[in-house]
Amino acid sequence: MSFVAFRSAGAPYKAPQRRVGDVEGSLQARLDFTPSASELAHAIRGRESKAQAILEELRRGPASTSTLARIGGVRFGARICELRQRGFKIVTEGRADYAIYRLGGE
């Protein structure tokens, strides 16, 4: 499928044809939300390293919401959920405007 745009002078402009594999800068790249295998691997490594950093912080002692958000990013709660699924007992003590997290018995 070719994409045709018109210049202000009215002369048609034909965009250069790209193959499906030429993703950079193409319309397909902007429409395709499926990450590549290397992008997925990078994201998983990033998640695992953030979860590991959160676990190390909790091993040092109780940590506040702001501390864990600085270490694990905005979605640090998801990393805590992953750690809980791996078998770590993480206790949350709620406060009025923040929470304190601590590591229970492993």
Size of the chain, expressed as the number of residues it contains: 106
Helices (H), 1-106: 27-31, 37-60, 65-72, 76-85
- Position 43 pLDDT exceeds 60: yes
- Show the domains of the chain with their CATH numbers: 23-103 (1.10.10.10)
Distance CA 99, CA 54 (A): 15
- Chain segment 13-34, per-residue pLDDT in tens: 666 665 555 555 566 556 666 7
Single pTM value for the model: 0.57
Residue 9 pLDDT level (bands cut at 50, 70, 90): low
Amino acid of residue 32? D
